[in-house]
Structure 1
Amino acid sequence: MDEVVDRCAEAPEPPEAPAQQLPEGDFIDGLLGLLEEDALASRLAELEDEQLYEDADFPADASSLSYSDPNDEALADIVWMRPHELVDEPALFVDGVSRGDVKQGDLGDCWFLSACASVARRPDLIERVVSPGQPLYGPGYQGVVAVRLWRFGAWVSVHVDDRLPTRDGRLLYASCADPREFWVAFIEKAYAKLHGSYEALAGGHSLEAFVDLTGGLAEKLSLKELPFRQLRIAFEHGAFVTCARRGDWQLATQRDEATGLVQGHAYTVTDVRRLEPREPDGAVRLLRLVRVRNPWAGSEWTGAWSDGDPRWDALDEETKQALSVTATEDGEFWMEYEDFQAQFEEVTVATLGPDFDADGSSDASDQVKIIQDRWTEGENAGGCRNDLEKFATNPQYLINLTETDDPDSESGDTAKCSLLVGLMQEHRRSEKNREMRMRAIAFFVYKTDTPSERLSAEYFLCVPEEGSSGVFVNSREVLGRFELEPGYYVLIPATYYPDQTRTFMLRIFGLKPFDVRKLPDQEILIHEQDAFVEEIT
């Protein structure tokens, strides 16, 4: 009985998410600026000859810059300009896409831009988000740019006009290293529009940016507990990786003179290498290096293996060329893994599809179920297991696992069914006309022998869960990996506190076919995807 008492002990109260009083822009279409294609075409058709599009949903004024103080005198000298007013022959892309294109401006959105730089290792993905065929001058130019972002289960088009905030003839916020190139500036503007203002992007998590840019899955990992091999294999398998420094993001303008790094700042991991160079005495040394990029395109690490460090002299020229070692102050630098672990707190690893074994590689799986549902106060928002009667009122979904993964003949282990589950709450960094907090969420998986019945409080009192997403956390999405025996299971998503109304989405991935339905037998939006990454057309 002691085991039951331990398992049913009160769940620890999660830290309260800070209040976010970020009123969204007063969008005239009422849909967060997501304008239907027909409505946009109608607006463009109304333009006079040589008249350019002006976005009424995200106007070129201080309200689009700041939600907290649009009358701030510091914004008075900002001028909105179109690319062709800044440079000759502007384009969304010049000579393709690279991580070196991304430069942060006067906005604390390093979390977003570090993710952009990471995804840039796949130019095809960036060009799906921003189609390169959109002119910024000349024939066909109307002053509008379309950006595709993934929002709560679907790709949406965000249309913006091409006016950008400038000061003294320079872009105020994100830009590209080549002044003729503008893809970074327009992804940032579309993301700002989706959230109500540029200021709403100040401070955030790369995890969310990765999901919104790719529609994939992302998770944060503590560097203290992360083996170098896991990071290296993840990167080699195509995962997108960012890292974050300890400290307050609001102080992410302060460079540590001792290290060259910035506290509370997000960086992009651009390479991970394991080397075995030979020392002058003939001994072979194990060298584990990580290459990191600051979205400022400056302010580099000054410690061991930094640009110009004499340790590089011990490596042959072929190795240094393979590592692209330069002394250029471009914001990119190498670090030894031990220093990387000491200076950074966590990494965010993102994949385009389900990664069942956490190796950074998207595993082949077209078995995907997406469920969109809602916790409603007084009905099915039961909260955590501190009150089992209320917990039992949460939505419950029956999962039927019948086919096991291919058995591992070498290990002799009993074949299991692999599942990866993601629970996402619908949350924007701003919400119309009310204070918004990120809810603490989690989900639980129980085995059942009565597939036609909901699980009761008595059941939870006596039967432990098979697994969960972990402790309740104030995060937009939580993930869990499971290897389960064939049978029936009940998946229960919950907020920590009861009676918190919120829309949520479950994404369930399996290596083999499986069935899902809501308990009791109710109609619910459960649909399958043939492939995880939807084609953007």
Structure 2
Amino acid sequence: MAKSETCLINLSYQDGSEGSPSNPAKFKNQDFAQIKADYIRKRGQLFEDNEFPPNGHSLGDLPDMSPSEESGVKWLRPADLLREQGKKDKPAFCTDGMSRFDFGQGKVGNCWFLSAISALTFQKNLMEQVVPMDQSFEDYAGIFHFRFWRFGKWIDVVIDDYLPTINKQLLSVSSKCGNEFWAPLLEKAYAKVCGSYADMRGGSSSEACKDFTGGVNQIYHPTEANAPSCDELWLTLSRATKCKSLICCGTLHKKDALANTGLVDGHAYSVTGITEVELNGSKVRLLRVMNPWGKQEWNGKWSDKSDLWDKVSPEVRKKCCKRNDGEFWMQMEDFCSYFAKVSICCETPNFLDGDLKCQWNCRIYDGSWVAGKSAGGDVNHPSFATNPQYRIRVTVIDKRSQETKTSCFP
């Protein structure tokens, strides 16, 4: 338990208070329910978000696009986009649930964000916290909203449904079924929080997972000299899976090291499953990994085309889905050789020791770095001690002596 010994403000965000999951703070002071009700009464007028308008300012400067391409960007609402594509389908917010197979990456370099969404789709309760499911294109006013955990509290982010397109196709995240729009709209809400679509270019999956959960992050670097062994990492991943964690990973930034493997260098993926299979009387540890592109897969041992699947039982063979959807299996040892980073995010730290019975209490304290007062710089500065800080008093029960021991940490 943490106890403040400074004048920091306790921000526990009890359920029902502003910033809690059931009562997120209104981002930019925009009230979704009120705005939607106002536009429904106007009959025929659709919401257009002045805080994140459908123009170049919200798009930002995307380095992978030429000036001529940027000038060709057209912002369209979903129904108008489908009409321009010559489709008779009506837009849908979500059809048959939300899945990692629903979307593919576009021209914005935000694989880190999409890998986190892939991981999020496995946790229904968290998914529905981020993506309110009482939304649709019926009772329609051109407005949607999403929730993220930012700096200690949940926020509710309102957007209109204008989406950037080029040549009648969505510029960024697109739906694989064509008329489903929850993923592009979720991406737009996060782009609004970041500042623009261009501000989503490059990032960390661990940060996106944090914003989806408000949970605890732990990062491992399998290829470094002091990294945990494959056995230790496997045990951690097993615990993390049981604790319903979001697990993402990233490949080495070395093209030569990944040559002819099918893996993309410096790219974010998500871990969507782990299993052990029996081969020739021995156990083989496998991880299922997802490329947010929705295509381009690992081509080594235990890949979709590997003949190793022909040597296992028919029941095990069913795990292998031979389709070009971006998802594949690979052996734990190969994973540790090619992936430079693994991030695990969970609502509690239970995955660290596998103790699912332990209940954690969270208490948050707010502080700030104020120039000339509490911004002491880094540890090399003599003023470092003036930075915001707190003390933790840990009480440990020694079962052998039944004595209570107390430690203090600055």
Range of TM-score over shorter length: 0.7 to 0.9
Q: Which residue of 2 aligns with 1:240?
A: 246
Give me the TM-score of the superposition, normalised by structure 1. 0.64
Q: Which residue of 2 aligns with 1:399?
A: 392
**Structure 1: how far apart are the matches of 2:257 and 2:188?**
27
Decide which of 79, 82, 103 is 2:77's aligned counterpart. Answer: 82
Q: Which residue of 1 aligns with 2:221?
A: 222
**Which secondary structure state, in structure 2, belongs to the residue aligned with residue 368 of structure 1?**
coil
Moved more, 259-268 or 222-231: 222-231
1:45 deviation in Å? 4.4
Q: Which residue of 1 aligns with 2:85?
A: none
Q: Which residue of 2 aligns with 1:126?
A: 127
1:177 deviation in Å? 2.4
Change (3 A) 1:260 1:38: closer
* The structure with more radius of gyration: 1
Q: Which amino acid aligns with 1:265?
A: H
**Residues 334-362 of structure 1: per-residue CA shift (max 9 Å, x gap):** 1111111111101010101233x614677
Change (3 A) 1:360 1:162: farther
1:220 deviation in Å? 1.3
Change (3 A) 1:396 1:303: closer
1:229 deviation in Å? 2.2
Q: Which residue of 1 aligns with 2:260?
A: 258
1:78 deviation in Å? 1.5
**Structure 1: how far apart are the matches of 2:265 and 2:316?**
31
Q: Report whether the alignment pairs 1:52 with 2:49.
A: no
Pairing 1:145-184 to 2, within 5 Å after superposition: 145-184=144-183
**Which secondary structure state, in structure 1, belongs to the residue aligned with residue 287 of structure 2?**
strand
**Structure 1: how far apart are the matches of 2:356 and 2:61?**
39
**Structure 1: how far apart are the matches of 2:358 and 2:182?**
31
Q: Report whether the alignment pairs 1:290 with 2:287.
A: yes
Moved more, 217-226 or 38-47: 38-47
1:211 deviation in Å? 0.7
Show structure 2 runs of 5+ residues with no match. Answer: 1-24, 83-88
Q: Which residue of 1 aligns with 2:305?
A: 308
Q: Which amino acid aligns with 2:154?
A: W
**Which secondary structure state, in structure 1, belongs to the residue aligned with residue 376 of structure 2?**
coil
Q: Report whether the alignment pairs 1:339 with 2:334.
A: yes
Pairing 1:325-336 to 2, within 5 Å after superposition: 325-336=320-331
Q: Report whether the alignment pairs 1:34 with 2:8.
A: no
**Structure 2: how far apart are the matches of 1:396 and 1:35?**
30
Change (3 A) 1:172 1:385: closer
Show structure 1 runs of 5+ residues with no match. Answer: 1-30, 417-484, 492-537
1:66 deviation in Å? 1.2
Q: Which residue of 2 aligns with 1:489?
A: 408
Change (3 A) 1:399 1:124: closer
**Structure 2: how far apart are the matches of 1:179 and 1:123?**
23
**Structure 1: how far apart are the matches of 2:176 and 2:32?**
35
Q: Which amino acid aligns with 1:394?
A: N
Q: Which residue of 2 aligns with 1:522?
A: none
Change (3 A) 1:336 1:74: same
Change (3 A) 1:329 1:39: closer
**Which secondary structure state, in structure 1, belongs to the residue aligned with residue 367 of structure 2?**
strand
**Structure 1: how far apart are the matches of 2:369 and 2:243?**
37
**Which secondary structure state, in structure 1, belongs to the residue aligned with residue 272 of structure 2?**
strand
**Which secondary structure state, in structure 2, belongs to the residue aligned with residue 276 of structure 1?**
strand
Q: Which has the higher helix share?
A: 2
Pairing 1:103-122 to 2, within 5 Å after superposition: 103-122=104-123
**Structure 2: how far apart are the matches of 1:42 and 1:94?**
22
**Structure 1: how far apart are the matches of 2:203 and 2:295?**
21
**Structure 2: how far apart are the matches of 1:196 and 1:181?**
25
Change (3 A) 1:246 1:256: closer
1:168 deviation in Å? 2.3
The percent of aligned pairs where both chains have the same amino acid is 36
**Structure 2: how far apart are the matches of 1:331 and 1:38?**
35
Q: Which residue of 2 aligns with 1:390?
A: 383
Change (3 A) 1:385 1:128: closer
**Structure 2: how far apart are the matches of 1:245 and 1:261?**
8
Give me the TM-score of the superposition, normalised by structure 2. 0.82
Task: Give the structure, 1 or 2, with the largest relative contact order (CA under 8 Å, sep 6 or more).
Answer: 2
Q: Which amino acid aligns with 1:374?
A: S
**Which secondary structure state, in structure 1, belongs to the residue aligned with residue 126 of structure 2?**
helix
Q: Which residue of 1 aligns with 2:22?
A: none
Change (3 A) 1:91 1:359: farther
**Residues 257-277 of structure 1: per-residue CA shift (max 9 Å, x gap):** 611111110001011112233
**Residues 261-313 of structure 1: per-residue CA shift (max 9 Å, x gap):** 11110001011112233x2xxxx122111111100010001111111211111
Change (3 A) 1:50 1:339: same
**Structure 2: how far apart are the matches of 1:241 and 1:68?**
28
Q: In angstroms, what is the RMSD of aligned CA positions?
A: 2.9
Q: Report whether the alignment pairs 1:348 with 2:343.
A: yes
Say if 2:27 and 2:156, in contact at 8 Å, map to a contact too: no
**Structure 2: how far apart are the matches of 1:266 and 1:196?**
22
Q: Which amino acid aligns with 2:294?
A: A
Say if 1:33 and 1:193, in contact at 8 Å, map to a contact too: no
